[in-house]
């Protein structure tokens, strides 16, 4: 019997010094067939649920945890946060029915929980306050970014004892700024999200009448800075979903989902 392929992870090597393990999966190392090949972790995209469960088990093992320690949310492109703990372990792992409902921000103070956020162009990010032992994982597409998802994550973490000046943030791979053309409406929504300030010129540049090229990483970075997160505490992955290693919904539909995984140090 052939040896199953390895499951590569993109780790932030600096995260453990700040009290957390943070990584993203790639599209490689799973059992799904085209168009979900191969490590699709999304149950909602039309892939075989049994294969997705097997993929999730392999991804969890590569991250050093069991699948039943993970928590998934039913993401809705919003800015709602949920505090989860040991009693929530296993939610959403095998079915969307018991995932944390209508939530795009998961927060925990427990090292017994691994947070999982699914993406395929949207920004996945993790925030941690190592002193308070508070961790958040966030799904921020343009709608979530316009709704202020990172600001809501900061507020939810502060409610659990975190301090924004101690937070460290890890931004995962997202759509490349040169491949994310949006309308005036989207650019305006992102601009409204930072009022009374002005949208950073790095976030949106004109691309013909009524169109803009948007950098969602830059948009979330601007909001994090506005919240008070120190600039040198914000780390980008330097990868985008243009890379063949990651699923991209804009490049191919249907497609799979990769995940950001985050866990507090025990």
Report the CATH number that the domain containing residue 149 is assigned in CATH. 3.60.140.10
Per-residue model confidence (pLDDT) at position 266: 78
User: Residue 203 falls within a domain, yes or no?
Assistant: no
Q: Is residue 182 part of a domain?
A: no
Q: Cβ distance 20 to 135 under 8 Å?
A: yes
Domain region containing 70: 9-173+229-264
- Whether 224 is covered by a domain: the verdict is no
Q: Is 63 helix (H, G, I), strand (E, B) or coil?
A: helix
| CB distance 107 to 157 below 8 Å | yes
Q: Does residue 223 fall inside a structural domain?
A: no
Helices (H), the chain: 49-63, 142-146, 149-159, 184-192, 216-227
Quick one: which of 249, 266, 263 has its CA closest to 44? Answer: 249
Q: Are 262 and 9 in contact (CB under 8 A)?
A: no
For residue 173, give the nearest of 75, 250, 257, 241 by alpha carbon. 241
Asked whether residue 196 is domain-assigned, the answer is no
Domain assignment present for 134:
yes
pLDDT tens series, the chain, 266 aa? 345 668 999 999 999 999 999 999 999 999 999 999 999 999 999 999 999 999 999 999 999 999 999 999 999 999 999 999 999 999 999 999 999 999 999 999 999 999 999 999 999 999 999 999 999 999 999 999 999 999 999 999 999 999 999 999 999 999 999 999 999 999 999 999 999 999 999 999 999 999 999 999 999 999 999 999 999 999 999 899 999 999 999 999 999 999 999 999 97
- What pLDDT is recorded for position 55? 98
Residue 220 and residue 216: Cα distance in Å, rounded?
Answer: 6
39, 48, 177, 224, 260 from 195: Cα distances, Å:
40, 44, 22, 14, 29
Question: Measured between alpha carbons, how far is 56 from 75 in angstroms, rounded to an integer?
Answer: 17
**H-helix or E-strand spanning residue 179:** none
Say if residues 54 and 65 touch (Cβ distance below 8 Å). no
In a domain, 180, yes or no: no
pLDDT of residue 1: 39
Q: Is residue 29 part of a domain?
A: yes
Q: Do 235 and 170 touch, CB atoms closer than 8 A? A: yes
| Helix, strand and coil percent figures for the chain, each rounded to 5 | 30, 25, 45
167-205 core/surface letters (b: 16 or more CB in 10 A; e: else): bbbbbbbbbbbeebebeeebbebbbebbeeeebbeebbe
Domains contained in the chain, number: 1
């Amino acid at each position: 019997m052939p040896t199953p392929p390895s499951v590569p992870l993109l780790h932030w090597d600096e995260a453990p010094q700040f009290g957390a393990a943070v990584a993203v999966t790639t599209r490689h190392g799973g059992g799904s067939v085209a168009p979900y090949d191969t490590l699709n972790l999304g149950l909602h995209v039309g892939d075989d649920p049994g294969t997705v469960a097997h993929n999730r088990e392999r991804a969890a093992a590569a991250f050093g945890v069991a699948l039943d320690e993970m928590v998934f949310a039913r993401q809705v492109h919003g800015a709602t946060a949920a505090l989860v703990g040991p009693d929530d372990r296993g939610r959403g792992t095998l079915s969307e029915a018991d995932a944390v409902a209508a939530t795009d921000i998961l927060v925990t103070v427990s090292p017994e929980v691994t947070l999982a956020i699914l993406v395929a162009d949207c920004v996945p990010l993790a925030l941690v306050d190592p002193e308070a032992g508070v961790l958040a994982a966030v799904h921020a597409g343009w709608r979530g970014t316009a709704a202020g998802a990172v600001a809501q994550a900061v507020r939810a973490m502060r409610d659990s004892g975190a301090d924004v000046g101690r937070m460290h943030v890890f931004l995962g791979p997202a759509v490349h700024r040169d491949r994310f053309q949006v309308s005036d409406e989207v650019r305006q929504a992102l601009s409204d999200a930072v009022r009374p300030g002005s949208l950073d010129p790095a976030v949106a540049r004109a691309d013909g009448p009524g169109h803009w090229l948007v950098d969602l990483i830059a948009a979330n970075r601007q909001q994090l800075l506005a919240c008070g997160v120190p600039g040198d505490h914000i780390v980008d992955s330097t990868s985008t979903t243009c890379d063949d290693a990651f699923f991209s919904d804009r490049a191919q539909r249907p497609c799979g989902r990769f995940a950001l995984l985050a866990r507090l140090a025990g």
